[in-house]
Amino acid sequence: MKDTTTSRTGLEIAIIGMSGRFPGAANVYEYWQNLLQGKESISQFTNVELQPNVSEDQYTKKNYVSAKGYLNNIEYFDAAFFGYHTKEAIQLSPQSRIFQECVWECLEDAGYNIQKYPGSIGVYAGASSSLVWQLLTNFNTASQTDVFNAALLNDKDYLSTRTSYQLNLKGPSITINTACSTSLVAIHLACRALLTRECDMAIAGGVSVSLPIKAGYLYEDGMINSPDGHCRPFDKGANGTVFSDGAGVVLLKPLSHAIRDKDNIHAVILGSAINNDGRSKVGFTAPSTLGQADVLRQAYNVSKVSLESISYIEAHGTGTQIGDPIEIEALKSVFKNTNSVVLGSVKSNLGHLDVAAGVASLIKVVLALKNKTIPQTLHFNELNTKIDLKNTCFSINRHAVDWRSEDCVLRAGVNSFGIGGTNAHVIVEQAPSLNGDEMELVKDNLLLFSAKAEISLENYLKQIKKYVEEKEFYLEDLAFTQNFGRAWFDVRAAIHFSSKKDLVNKVDQLIENKSYAHIVAKQKIIFAFAGVGSEYPAMGVDLFKNVKLFREIVEEIASDTVLKNNQVDVSDLLYGSQDNLRRFEENKEIALFTFEYALGKFLIALGIEPFFMIGHGVGEYVAAVMSGVLSPGDAFKILFARKEINRQFEVPALLSINAGLNELAPHLTDEIFVAACNASTSTVVAGVSSTLDQFKQVLAGVGIRSILIPNTQIFNAGLSRNELIAFGDLLHTIKINPPTIPYLSSISGRNITEESVVKQDYWLDLMTQTIRFDEGISELLKYEHTTFLEVGPSMVISAWINRNTYKLPSQYAVSVVKNRHERASDINKLNELLTELWKRGVAIKFDKVDHCMEGKKISMPTYQFDKKYNWVDREIIDLHSMAERNSSVPAKMENSFTTKHEIEQQLLNIWSEVIGGASIDTRKNLFEMGITSLDAINVHRKLKSQINIQVEVTAMFEHPTIESFSEHLLNLTEN
């Protein structure tokens, strides 16, 4: 290999995702392990295994070869995941099922969440003929509608478009068939579509499943099949191939875009070509040396790659007496260099996967490049006498060999040739080495897990645990791929972790406790802003240092003109030098307001939109600004005015009492002012110290606990309106706007209206009257499926709510950041909050959080499907019986119902028959549940045959629920 150039043509295509099903291998990882171990995955069936599917007079014949590479458990399918009802799932071709599973896994392997991917994804693929399956699934069809509907599900020609529809892929969708070269031709066409910008990414591959699952074939001399069930590429004993089942897909993307998007690049396609032999051969099914040599030259001309740089060729290698020599002659006519080129063929391991053969070969080469190992070619002992490799660069390895080069990249070619003469060749290069940026990583991170079924989630968690315990990787990469490269479903679990050990332990706990959340309703978010007393220097400092968005919001607030005019730098006040505590204490309302306002804006930027808000004391000013009632500048004017007022008065003492106002009322005197009613177990009163000392003793005498707390504020503690004349003048200069986000008054517990906030009296009451936070919380607890977020450096409000006797099971309260006593970091608290909200169905914008974005995409476990048995339990077809069944027509019935309920029951029976027994909610829109128009037509046909009512099929679309359609039918009968 002499080509060490790193220049690019701009035509390179990155392979960024792979998935497959192969004989003896449920995935690409198992496939590679089998290749490394030199395992032959062609099964030799016993008579007992053949009996259910093959007649005895067949498998007892001397020339019957009971061999095939087959796929396990193709009778099982996760129909609900892909949106099929039971009858559809049974009719859906096994090839389509497997292909759709592989496409989903391939996209996940690439780290792409197709729910959120903004670009277009094309599908280029092919499947083998499925005549047996079509006959099986047409067996019970009783009308043209049934036949047509079945064809859409069981015909291989709908492979690509069916996949695009089910997964909402909007790029070109083309089903291809060029016989054995189909999947490699599909890859070539997908590459061309990407280069011409027809789509942003492309899925390409193929699938082949033949029925019966476990069955062999009759060997005939001169045909392509092997007489003994083994495939021996290039060997003297090569005398035929074995057709097997399998599937493979790759996700492709222009290399420049893959590098830009930091994709996990498995390998690079440098160039490809396809052609046809025309008549330059002895017959339609025969291969051609000229055609194959020509496609090789085209591919290398396109890629601008020197032949000397190729060190491996994955040959078509069918193991036939005619095919192998012709392929080698074509290679020899092109590769005339003296460098060493190893030849191999995966058909020695798997047999011939028909239309999926090319993609199986490509995936083998990609895995060989990644692992720098060329697996052995099985059954090769002595070279085919019709092949001459003397004085050539070619050799065939009997054992796995290291594949390395000190001075240049590794490159390989992949051949695939089809009956009918369409040839394909693809040139593949090892993935480029991309150096990531060095960064200081945050210790704490989070992981989001979801599925459509609990069993799928549990099995996925088990795979994650195994992956974490066995693989080497960066935790940041795992988190990034999991959180951004997986779709979000309604069965959820989430953890926040700080180390690999912590991660394993918490995944273990999830599995053991089965603590999975189910999203049942849209969550209502309520912001609760804390009041003075919760603030402390450097509150939220972890967010300020490590989350750019939060820091930008704080700095934007700090630039307010009112703050600058008053010479207060809130950024420095919060996060500068903490030596001057007196300065912080003098401006604590401003500091607390700034922090909570920034935190509220930050949460909204993360997609956490408040349904309602409530604020305690200063917290209400935050709610007013968040709602648009006040501008930030006007709020700062009020806070500076409050600061001046506070300086003018001697502040009273405060007593915090573990009781509600009703319990305290008999003991109160005129000398005691109720400052705040926070909850049924929390009241704060104000007064002279000596008075409160006496009151404390009275309360102790009746068993009520209380504690004196420090106070630096005059507000809500006995101040009268007459002492606020200057403040009243200030209010005349402030613009009051109607609220855009609803919030409750902290002094009345009622909803703030435009009428109430425009009155000067309200703002005076806010400073002088008792805070009735308890009434506001009681009002908000009327709403189900509610999460209260304590937006401030406190956990007191969330404790009040969680201990409230009226709190519903669907309600929950949590603090957003740590308080002054907590040891956990704010990042840890943020992770806890975000994971909890996400489990409850809130669409968090995790890309706004820096530490969630610090990884890159990696290959890791993919979705674990909850597969159920979906199969036609009849593989030996009686065509005469089928014809009789299809000719039968149910007799028409007279109307036997008199009530709407009876009509509903009859409709439910008909629908159940049409869609295969699935339960249906009579109140839900059928077409939003995934029911198709063809299903409706089928129901309409059965309805006409069973109920003596003339009704147009369009009525079913006008009345899309069973309940409304029943009402319509009842009206028709009455009229």
Residues with active-site annotation = 180, 316, 352
CA-to-CA distance for 584 and 714, rounded, in angstroms? 18
What's the start-to-end Cα distance of the chain, in Å? 87
Are β-strands 771-772 and 673-679 bridged in parallel, bridged antiparallel, or unpaired? parallel
H or E element at residue 877: none
Question: How far is Cα 467 from Cα 458, in angstroms, rounded to an integer?
Answer: 14
Burial letters 495-509, b for 16+ CB under 10 A, else e = bbbbeeeebeebbee
472 token code pair: 């080497």
Q: Which residues of 731-768 are buried (b: 16+ CB within 10 A; e: fewer)?
A: beeeebeebebbbbbbbbbeebeeeebeeeebbbbbbb
> For the chain, what percentages of helix, strand and coil (3-state, to nearest 5) are there?
40, 15, 40
Beta strands 173-175 and 201-208: pairing type? unpaired
Output the DSSP codes for 157-225. GGHHHHHHHHHT--S-EEE--BTBTHHHHHHHHHHHHHHTTS-SEEEEEEEE--SSSS--EE--TTSSB
The Cα 363–Cα 106 span in angstroms is: 12
Rounded distance between C-alpha atoms, residue 331 and residue 95, angstroms = 33
Q: Are 959 and 938 in contact (CB under 8 A)?
A: no
**Residue 690 backbone phi and psi in degrees, to 5:** -65, -40
| E strands present in 490-554 | 491-497, 517-518, 524-529
Q: Which two tokens stand for residue 83?
A: 């949106």
Give the rounded distance of the alpha carbon of 428 from its chain centre: 29
- The H-or-E segment that residue 121 falls in is strand 121-127
Cα of 675 vs its chain's centroid, Å: 50
Strand partners, 447: 495
Please, what is the angle between helix 28-36 and helix 357-371, to 10°? 70
Q: Report residue 851 as tokens.
A: 């530490």
Cis amide prior to 212 (ω within 30 degrees): yes
**How far is CA 565 from each of CA 558, 575, 591, rounded to the nearest angstrom?**
12, 20, 16
Q: Are the beta carbons of 3 and 309 closer than 8 angstroms? A: yes
> In which element (H, E) is residue 868 found?
strand 868-869
